Amino acid sequence: MGQLFHIEESQYLQSFEHLISSFSVQKYKHKILIVDDEKDNLQLLTRTLRSEYDIITASNGQEALHQVEKYGNDISLIISDQRMPIMSGTDLFAKVRMLYPKIIRILLTGFSDVDILIESVNKCELFQYILKPFEPDELKMIVQNGLRVYDLANNKENLLSDLKELFFTTIKSIASALDAKDPYTHGHSQRVTIYALIIANQLDFAESVLEDIETAGLLHDIGKIGVPEDILRKPGKLTDIEFDLIKQHPARGKQILAGIDKLANIACWVNSHHEKWDGWGYPQKLKGEEIPAAARILAIADTYDAMTSDRSYRKGLPHEVAVEEIKNCSGTQFDPSMVEIFLQVAKVFEQAKENPEKYYQTYSLLNKSISLKKD
Ligand SMILES: [Fe+2]
């Protein structure tokens, strides 16, 4: 019995090893859709490619579109005949290009179609066309090249999106670590970010600038990392020395961020978020438009949140009072044109204050690009 068990056990282990090795040897197979109304042609194409690729077929454009709908971006490449009933190959590709532009498109065509083909090539951005009758080896090579282009494009895209995700999660965790230094400023960085984005969305900023404003909002107080917690949390009046220390945080923030090339502009905005329109802010006493627009937006967002949030020593001010205060400081502390925009969207500030998570989901661009990737 023991022997039998032993044999069974070793057989089990062997087959397990086999299973593991077959998994590791198994290579990812690209899915290729072949579209042709002539059965013989469809079979020949399938025979030529099936050992290396996962082949699906369709006998006309309509059927092909159904396959594309079903498999979406699982399809890496489509080979289609040009002359088919219902829909031509180029018409099919024009539709595929709209739906799934990443799929590589190769057209099979006869000599007599070449003129029409040249006209329609732009319409569907072909990777290549193959003249019939084709050489199987030539076809294999063209397919291989197409898939190489496909892989390169996708790897680059994945790599960029992975980097973006890493960057964003790092920034988010720095922001929450920062907010956690003082329970009374919990969520401050996120709320300032939302408020800044609400204003920025009213202006004609490019998407990449909005992303930078989001990053700057999350990191605007990063320089406080160097300020002792008992000073940050101190309920009473600060001494001059303590206040001086706190006043160093924009410059410290700049120092921290300036080491990263990609964050050079953000570092500059962080440095300027306590500057005042009339030149009485810090650290550089910049005046008017010397202060970067993003920093002028951050200043309003930051002040609104500071006024409306509870502190250890006082309750937060009501929304209306904060709005009045910002209005009164137009032209002294704040850029009048930014205050004007703030007044137009002040209602949204009030709603976002009640439900920051929801509003962050709506306004965040960095978060959105990551959720899109996960979908
Ligand atoms: Fe600050």
Neighbours of 326 (CB within 10 A): 22
- Amino acid at position 85, single letter: P
300 Cα: distance to centroid of ligand 1 (angstroms) = 11
Q: Who contacts 140 (Cβ-Cβ below 8 Å, separation ≥6)? A: 48, 49, 52
Q: What is the DSSP string of 325-350?
A: HHHHTBTTTB-HHHHHHHHHHHHHHH
292 Cα: distance to centroid of ligand 1 (angstroms) = 15
- pLDDT of 111: 66
57 Cα: distance to centroid of ligand 1 (angstroms) = 61
274 Cα: distance to centroid of ligand 1 (angstroms) = 6
324 Cα: distance to centroid of ligand 1 (angstroms) = 21
Measure the CA–CA gap between 298 and 292, rounded to whole angstroms. 10
347 Cα: distance to centroid of ligand 1 (angstroms) = 24
Neighbours of 298 (CB within 10 A): 28
225 Cα: distance to centroid of ligand 1 (angstroms) = 11
β-pairing verdict for 75-81 and 104-109: parallel
Q: Which domains does the chain have, with CATH numbers?
A: 27-156 (3.40.50.2300), 181-374 (1.10.3210.10)
pTM for the whole structure? 0.62
Helix (H, G, I), strand (E, B) or coil at 357: helix
Q: Who contacts 90 (Cβ-Cβ below 8 Å, separation ≥6)? A: 82, 107, 116, 117, 120, 121, 123, 124
- pLDDT of 20: 39
Measure the CA–CA gap between 209 and 215, rounded to whole angstroms. 10
272 Cα: distance to centroid of ligand 1 (angstroms) = 9
- pLDDT of 299: 98
Which is the catalytic residue, given 95, 181, 224, 285?
224
Q: Which helix (DSSP H) or strand (DSSP E) does residue 32 occupy?
A: strand 31-35
- pLDDT of 10: 44
DSSP secondary structure letter of residue 92: H
298 Cα: distance to centroid of ligand 1 (angstroms) = 9
How are strands ordered across the β-sheet holding 75-81?
54-58, 31-35, 75-81, 104-109, 128-131
237 as an active site residue: the answer is no
- Measured CA to CA in angstroms, residue 360 lies from 15, 191, 340 at distances of 52, 8, 23
- pLDDT of 75: 94
202 Cα: distance to centroid of ligand 1 (angstroms) = 23
Q: In the chain, which residues have pLDDT < 70?
A: 1-27, 111-114, 116, 119, 122, 183-184, 369-375
Q: What is the DSSP string of 157-189?
A: HHHHHHHHHHHHHHHHHHHHHHHHTSGGGTTHH
Could you tell me if residue 219 is left (phi over 0), alpha (psi between -120 and 50 degrees) or otherwise beta?
alpha
Neighbours of 180 (CB within 10 A): 11
351 Cα: distance to centroid of ligand 1 (angstroms) = 23
258 Cα: distance to centroid of ligand 1 (angstroms) = 17
- Measured CA to CA in angstroms, residue 45 lies from 42, 56, 134, 191 at distances of 5, 11, 10, 58
